Amino acid sequence: MLSPLLAIVAWLACGHAVLGGLFWTLLQVPESTVFTVALSVLLAVMLLVATGWVEVAAQLSWTESEAPARRIRRAAAAVPAFLVSLALFALVFWLTARAGQWLIVHRGEIDAWLIAGPGIVKSSPIHAALGWVLWFVRYGLGLSVALTLLGQLTVAGVCSIAQPAWLCAALRPRRLALVALSIFVFVWLPWQAVYWRPGFLPPTWFEPAFVAVKLLVFYLVANLGWALALKVTAAARHSKQD
């Protein structure tokens, strides 16, 4: 278990670093001429294709025992499946963002209703709970369904999504909890400390060195969490989903 995990985390860390470089290059293109616009489109397409290749190869590595070179070739062929899954998660992300914005805009009305109805004066915990519900819908439910769909399309093909088994597997409480927990513990929590530094740290070269090491650790931890989420949602070719 430990050896495949380390290999997959290393693959994801290197792949995401390359993707970050592509994204940074895309941001530097000044879209002022037809040529630069075409270059931006080309870089955006390359970024999507490379992302699908990296993520699918990592997910396949959890369940497929074939040679790494073959898994990488299969991952390249499964980029359309990744784009479908990405579109599904983007829809969930957009819907939860709209719901969160609605809660912010109508917070006063909700507070008034809570006071007039149940008689609740302190509504901050309720708003916080609603925020966490939306977070879970986005990163628990949304990611579980999108990644399970990705695994199903990659392993069993497009015709298999007509069967409800993959969706039932994606909605199982254990899978939802594990996906959400992977993102919460390994991505969300470290992000809360991204700006933290010890008060006793001298403003010399120690400070940028500390920041560099901290960000590197957080980056590797985030890739570990993502690798675990891919493991939970991976679809085995000859076995039932968990």
The per-residue pLDDT of the chain, averaged, comes to 89
The answer to whether 141 touches 96, Cβ cutoff 8 Å, is: no
pLDDT tens, residue by residue, 125-167: 999 999 999 999 999 999 999 999 999 998 887 887 888 889 9
Instruction: Give mean pLDDT, residues 103-119.
Output: 87
Domain boundaries, the chain: 2-233
Give the CB-side neighbour count of residue 91, counting CA atoms within 13 A: 8
Give the CB-side neighbour count of residue 162, counting CA atoms within 13 A: 3
Question: Residue 4 and residue 227: Cα distance in Å, rounded?
Answer: 10
Q: Hey, CA dihedral for 126, 128, 131, 133, is it positive or negative?
A: negative
Position 125, amino acid: P
pTM for the model: 0.86
pLDDT tens, residue by residue, 45-73: 999 999 999 999 999 888 876 677 777 77
Q: Give me the pLDDT at residue 237, please.
A: 57
Position 187, amino acid: V
Give the CB-side neighbour count of residue 31, counting CA atoms within 13 A: 10
Cα end-to-end distance, the chain, whole Å: 17
Of the pLDDT bands very low, low, confident and very high (cuts 50, 70, 90), residue 103 is very high
pLDDT tens, residue by residue, 158-217: 887 888 889 999 999 999 999 999 999 999 999 999 888 888 888 888 888 998 999 999
Of the pLDDT bands very low, low, confident and very high (cuts 50, 70, 90), residue 236 is low
Query: Residues 128-156, buried b or exposed e (16+ Cβ, 10 A)?
Result: eebeeebbbbbbbbbbbbbbbbbbbbbbe
The answer to whether 9 touches 62, Cβ cutoff 8 Å, is: no
Question: Residue 206 and residue 201: Cα distance in Å, rounded?
Answer: 7
